[in-house]
Amino acid sequence: MSLLDVRNLTVTYPGGAAAVRGVDLRLDAGRKLGLAGESGCGKSTLALALLRLLPAGTRITGEVLLDGEDVLTMKWGRVRAVRWAGASVVFQGAMHSLNAVHRIGDQIAEPILLHRKATAAGAKRKTGELLEQVGLPAARADAYPHELSGGQRQRVMIAMALACDPRLIIADEPTTALDVMIQAQILRLIEQLVADQDLGLIMISHDLAVLADTCDRLAVMYAGRVVEEGPAAQVYEDARHPYARALSAAFPRIGDPGSRFAPQGLAGDPPDPAALPSGCTFHPRCPVALESCAEQDPALREAGPGRRAACVLAGPPPDAPLAEPQDPQALQEARPTTP
């Protein structure tokens, strides 16, 4: 049985259109799945739906099986327990997630006291251990969030996520707000912790290069759907879906802001969920679209061993013609929206 088995997940915000549409994903214990896609493609919505962290009135259908148990039909008491001990989330921008008026040690200890029924002394000891695990001295427990740097605060968020020994960590753009060197340190830390503790990891980023470097498998989302999924190196280096190819062309190397051009031949933004194009939702931006792509929305289907893609051309050779790179100025202007 998979650690996480997401089946036909659809998420509709109150009064809105579906931001996630029929997503199927699986993750085994100890494995790392990267979720990529431009801003607005539904990555965070998907992540939040896994733990039912969405605003009241949001409609979630499908199944989210965590160790075989459907999170979507659980009683709330069980959901709360699962949020710490089953799976926990590390968000981008730790400053907003930490409480400014409480010492960080108390914030890390809180779920340990609550969900682990630990004694005060036991929680304090565990808090010190967690801080050391994420590379901070145990004595920093007495610090307030504003006394820490951005990278240190993100380490605290990771310590909190690990507090109740979850089996799955969901990291939503955990390094986006950090500078490149700190970003690399935090990524290595997450990788190390996941490997040491045999955790499952879902890492979300708009940067395919970061994900390819960190994860075993990659799923690329567009307009609320997974359009390509497969082994990380293959999706990054030899994508089957034109959107995934454009994304990997946009992020050729880690930590090199100068190389982050807009996706090759790919201007504009992903569509608003309330105004999806007909047929394949990517066809208006697709450099290799056929006439029929305006009518048919291809299902995600097998595109090689262990690979899936949602494109009628699924499997054009890697050197299939993409639009000629435009002049750098035009590319800059067409830069994809990043969070």
Nearer to ligand ADP, 128 or 251 (CB): 251
Nearer to ligand ADP, 126 or 217 (CB): 217
Q: Can you say whether residue 182 is alpha, beta or left, with left for phi > 0 and alpha for psi between -120 and 50 degrees?
A: alpha
Q: Is the Cβ of residue 206 or residue 240 nearer to ligand ADP in the bound state?
A: 206
Instruction: Give the burial class of 15: count Cβ atoms within 10 A of its Cβ; 0-12 exposed, 13-18 middle, 19 or more buried.
Output: exposed
Binding site for ligand ADP (CB under 6 A): 13, 16, 19, 37, 39-45, 55, 272-273, 339
Pick the closer one to ligand ADP by CB: 30 or 339.
Answer: 339
Q: Taking the complex as a whole, how short is the minimal distance between the CB of residue 247 and ligand ADP, in angstroms?
A: 12
Q: Which of ligand ADP, Mg ion, none does residue 45 bind (CB under 5 to 8 Å by kind)?
A: ligand ADP
Q: Are 65 and 4 in contact (CB under 8 A)?
A: yes
Find the shortest distance in angstroms from Cβ 204 to Mg ion: 7
Give least dist CB 93 to Mg ion, A.
11
Q: What is the C-alpha to C-alpha distance for residues 246 and 227, in angstroms, rounded to an integer? A: 13
Q: Where are the beta strands (DSSP E) in the chain?
A: 4-12, 18-27, 32-36, 59-66, 69-70, 87-90, 168-172, 200-204, 217-222, 225-231, 301-302, 308-309
37 contact choice in ligand ADP, Mg ion, none (CB below 5 to 8 Å, kind-dependent): ligand ADP
Between residues 55 and 258, which has the closer beta carbon with respect to ligand ADP? 55
- Stretch of 39-47, 161-169, 251-259, 291-299 contacting Mg ion, by CB under 5 A: 39-47
- The strand order across the sheet containing 69-70 reads 18-27, 4-12, 59-66, 69-70
Check if the beta carbon of residue 105 is closer than 8 Å to that of residue 185. Answer: no
Q: What share of the chain is helix, strand, coil (3-state, %, to 5)?
A: 40, 20, 40
44 binds Mg ion (CB under 5 A): yes
Using the contact rule CB under 5 A, the part of the chain among 44-52, 161-169, 310-318, 320-328 near Mg ion is 44-52
The residues that touch Mg ion, with contacts defined as CB under 5 A, are 43-44
